[in-house]
A and B are shown apart, each in its own frame.
Chain A
Amino acid sequence: MLKLSLGPILWFWSRQTVFDFYANAAEWPVDTIYLGEVVCSRRRELKPDDWLDLARDLKACGKNVVLSTLTLIESEADLRRLRRFCEQDEFLVEANDQSALQVAIRNRIPFITGPSMNIYNTATLKILARQGLKAWSLPVELGRETLEQLIKELQQEGLDLPAEVFSWGFLPLAWSSRCFTARHYNLPKDNCEFRCLQHPDGMELRSRESQELFRINGISTLSGSRYDLMRELPDMERMGVSTVRLSPEHQGMEEVVRRFDQVRRGEMPTTDPLQLVEAPPCNGYWYGKPGMDLIG
């Protein structure tokens, strides 16, 4: 059966919101939970030790816990925080940047890679497998055809590298050194007043024809439509995908998890999952089309 994972929280939530979210998630039918700040180095409601404590709690609840690293590393301070995760061997690490790869490899820590790691071919997977890669995520812009070929080639190489697919939520599409939330409020990034806390689902960026294009989330830009591959789960299972990733939203996430859990058990619901935050669905990337498209 496909495994379900809860990706790292991409938004900036208060400390208490994060703790409450995971207290609930401990009861949900997800196999793996990714913890850590992956977007902005200024988001420090939880310190690395808080994440580690949380990781131990969730592990005690029977969850497989993975520590996720920052996607855009810009400073020595970023590297110091990264080392906290990549130099421990209590939990598996999700490397979201080559800096994390290097630190994990140097310390001989096994690792997995997140969707921002550029893995487009089998040669890349083979190189990383030699260095301790245990599982990998498909980059969000790649689709089923490429994934199927990659899985087939891995099998031919005799490599057991489970694949994970970002399957539900707003797609993380870009990272910048500048902050678009701060820009919106005319604040300097270094003195942003942590305005992202007021936007637990990011800020909608629309065209002047009111088309929902993107979601601004601090230094990152996410899709304006919600990626939803729920109906592709049977196909994923057939082709040998290991894990389906659901990206946290601050309301109604339990309902999403339960729907996906039903589907992976073979009960396809007749209606679509609840629309939590108002946003159109999309699945174009999966079919090799523009990501914003909705096929079928």
Chain B
Amino acid sequence: MELVCPAGSLPALKTAVDNGANAVYFGFKDSTNARQFAGLNFNDKRAAEGIEYAHLRGARVFCAINTYPQPDGWEQWKGAVDRAASLGVDAIILADMGLLDYAANRYPHIPRHLSVQGSATSHEALSFYKDNFDIRRAVLPRVLSLDQVRGVAKHSPVELEVFAFGSLCIMAEGRCYLSSYLTDESPNTRGACSPAKAVRWQETSQGLESRLNDVLIDRYGPGESAGYPTLCKGRFEVEGNVYHAIEEPVSLNTLDLLPELQALGISAVKIEGRQRSPAYNADVARTWRHALDNLEDGTGSFTVEPQWQRTLAGLSEGGLTTLGAYHRKWK
């Protein structure tokens, strides 16, 4: 299985490659990708450097252009596909049908991967993208359980990549408008969820408050560790109870599932986190490299070493990890 790691910056790209990533994925410094953060991502010069660095070391580079252009953005998004093509990336990760069509016609030789933002959760949906845009690979949304992944994998017409570690979206990706409902930006439109520009922290007599466009997302008592106010991970009130009504701030960690993913014929495992530091990237890539090497060492046995789990837990949101939807009981 291929280890696909995030590259939010050139140093992050290099540490991922140095620590065993088989492939890295990046986006340009604008809204054309789903991790639009100030100070992150690549201009063409940096991208060219990164691609050269990776290629010299045998790693592949994917470019994510996985947001949805509206009419006034069409030329810019199309331009991003042209830029990725001229930089010589190994694949373009796309979600929008219009852009997939453009890339397939203009650059048929560059493999197209369907982004998780393309919301394909069944083999029929995958066939739609395969038949129309000849995608080579698809990244599955994190909403599927392992049984469901098995069902998709059995009839999939394309390679599959699944999320292995990192922040957890619990909504079907590509169809979540919660962020644009509270702010004016969503992953689909601007590549941003709960954008930093709308975040406000405030120390009050009731505790530390996090707000998103003035909406109270969470309030932390003394000793509670505060997390980024991703809106679905806040504490809200439903029928008089205040709790994490949508989701707790935890990270996905599927280390335990690696043998099963391998048995299903999954082609690649993806690490989330282009917004994280190069140091994070180094630790995560190294840990998953060890795990994959152990899995594929030919002995047929795989044991998760406690040290791997400790390292990953230390890098996780809230210090907690979950098998996510892969694990049926989680629901």
A residues apposed to B, CB below 8 Å: 71-76, 78-79, 82, 97-99, 101-103, 105, 116, 118, 120-124, 126-128, 131, 139-142, 146, 149-150, 153, 171, 173-180, 182-184, 188-190, 203-211, 213-214, 216, 221, 223, 284-285, 288-292
Contacts and interface: CB of A to CB of B under 8 A. Distances in A.
Interface in B76-106: 95-99, 101-102
Contacts, number: 212
**Prevailing SS type, chain A contact patch:** mixed
A79 to B, nearest CB: 6
B97 A174 contact: no
B172 interface: yes
Contacts of B249: none
Contact of B143 (A74, A128, A205): A74
B171 A175 contact: yes
A6 B177 CA distance: 22
Given A97-B119, A99-B122, A174 B177 contact: yes
A124 B331 contact: no
Given A121-B74, A206-B237, A173 B178 contact: yes
A122 B242 CA distance: 44
Contacts of B121: 72-74, 97, 99
Interface stretch (B16-24, B64-72, B271-279, B295-303): B64-72
Interface string B168-201: 0011101111101111101011000000000000
Nearest to A101: B128
Contacts of A204: 238-239
Given A102-B124, A290-B182, A123 B99 contact: yes
B71 A73 contact: no
List of 6 A-B pairs having minimum Cβ-Cβ separation, nearest first: A123-B98, A177-B143, A291-B181, A102-B128, A98-B125, A120-B68
A207 B236 contact: yes
Nearest to B186: A141
Given A97-B119, A122-B71, A141-B177, A74 B238 contact: no
A146 B325 contact: no
Interface of B: 68-72, 74, 95-99, 101-102, 118-122, 124-125, 127-129, 131-132, 143-145, 148, 151, 170-172, 174-178, 180-184, 186, 188-189, 213, 215-217, 219, 232, 234-239, 241-242, 245-247, 325, 328-331
Contacts of A177: 143-145, 170, 172, 325, 331
B226 to A, nearest CB: 15
B178 A188 contact: no
27 contacts: A73-B122, A79-B124, A82-B124, A102-B128, A118-B175, A118-B188, A121-B70, A121-B74, A123-B98, A123-B101, A141-B180, A142-B189, A173-B176, A174-B176, A175-B172, A176-B170, A178-B331, A184-B238, A184-B239, A203-B239, A204-B239, A207-B237, A211-B216, A213-B215, A290-B184, A291-B182, A292-B181
A174 B125 contact: no
A176 B68 contact: no
A127 B97 contact: yes
A290 B120 CA distance: 27
Looking at B68, B232, B241, B242, the one whose CB has the most chain A CB atoms below 10 A away is B68
A265 B144 CA distance: 46
Nearest to A100: B124
B71 A180 contact: no
A106 B246 CA distance: 37
Contact of A141 (B99, B188, B241, B245): B188
A121 B176 contact: no
Contacts of A150: 71
A204 to B, nearest CB: 7
A13 B329 CA distance: 27
Given A123-B97, A127-B98, A74 B144 contact: yes
Contacts of B145: 74, 177
A178 B242 CA distance: 19
B171 to A, nearest CB: 4
Nearest to A96: B175
B171 A176 contact: yes
Contacts of A131: 132
A202 to B, nearest CB: 10
A127 B238 contact: no
Contact of B330 (A97, A178, A207, A223): A178
A75 B155 CA distance: 12
Nearest to A220: B171
B172 A149 contact: no
Contacts of B131: 102
Given A75-B148, A139-B177, A149-B72, 15 more contacts: A74-B121, A79-B124, A82-B124, A98-B128, A120-B189, A121-B69, A121-B74, A127-B132, A141-B189, A180-B246, A184-B238, A207-B215, A221-B171, A285-B181, A290-B213
